[in-house]
Amino acid sequence: MHQHNQPQNTAIPLNPIVVYACTAAATGTTIMSSLASFKTSTLLEEIQRRLECSSKPERRTMFIGPPGSGKGTQAPGAAKENCLCHLATGDMLRAAVKEGTEMGKKAKSIMDAGQLVGDDVVVGIISEAIQAQECNKGFILDGFPRTEVQAQKLDLLLKRQGEQIDRVVILDIPDDLLYKRITGRLTHPSSGRVYNTHFKPPNVAGKDDVSCCLIPSPDSPPLTLTLFPLPPVNRGAPHSAQ
């Protein structure tokens, strides 16, 4: 799959119930709130969504590509269209630490010691998440696995459940475009709105279009970016993730 389009600052509307359930799944917490807290229209929308999703095939997909290739842009839309969970491991890890789940506490102690979070902890967070009701049709993994060892651990996890990855989407874009996407990225921290100084600048430089100031993304340090070519792989026939 070749992704050459310029990044778009579009938000995908999500049902509050789905957001609530996915957040609980990603953090390992239990949903305690009563459904009475949701509007009837919201509940009906969720029922309609589940009816539509019941006819969708199960899929377990990985999105692979370097930072700035568009994984975080393309994966949520594909997940919503196919009734899948979008599992962004970085977001899940931060949420688990914030919520103080078992895996989150392990991750925090490791990070506080100045070490990298181990593969077992990350796989544990994924294992918790894919058990959620919202993931019963499958998932899209965004940002995992990154290494051969992580891929092996993921295979073992899915094998124990009688499942396997059935498709991989490779986001392959020109190096010059990738460089501009990474070095020009700006993020509004509280809302997650993303801009780019090359393709989608804010209306006022340095200001979020809705509220306040922007900060540079962690992916945009003032460093020289070195891009390494992907090893040759048998990609098969290109197709869209439908």
Is residue 4 included in any domain, yes or no? Answer: no
Interval 167-182: pLDDT, tens: 999 988 888 888 888 8
Tokens of 218: 């962690």
Lowest mean pLDDT of 4-18, 86-100, 160-174, 181-195, name the range: 4-18
Interval 205-233: pLDDT, tens: 878 888 877 666 555 555 555 555 555 55
**184 plus 158 within the same structural domain:** no
| CATH classification of the domain holding 94 | 3.40.50.300
**65 plus 161 within the same structural domain:** yes
Write out the residue range of the structural domain in which residue 224 sits: 174-228
Asked which of 173, 200, 219 is the last residue of a domain, the reply is 173
CA distance 131 to 126: 9
Is residue 118 included in any domain, yes or no? Answer: yes
Is residue 73 included in any domain, yes or no? Answer: yes
Asked which of 149, 173, 197 is the last residue of a domain, the reply is 173
Mean predicted lDDT score pLDDT of the chain: 76
**180 plus 109 within the same structural domain:** no
Number of structural domains, the chain?
A: 2
**165 plus 201 within the same structural domain:** no
3-state secondary structure 194-208: EEECCCECCCECCEC
Ranges assigned E (strand) in the chain: 59-64, 85-88, 138-142, 167-170, 185-187, 194-196, 215-216
Tokens of 132: 């959620």
**117 plus 188 within the same structural domain:** no
**133 plus 23 within the same structural domain:** yes
Asked which of 126, 143, 173 is the last residue of a domain, the reply is 173
Q: What is the pTM of this model?
A: 0.65
Is residue 101 included in any domain, yes or no? Answer: yes
**109 plus 190 within the same structural domain:** no
Residues forming beta bridges with residue 141, ordered by sequence position: 62, 87
**157 plus 37 within the same structural domain:** yes
Is residue 2 included in any domain, yes or no? Answer: no
**179 plus 93 within the same structural domain:** no
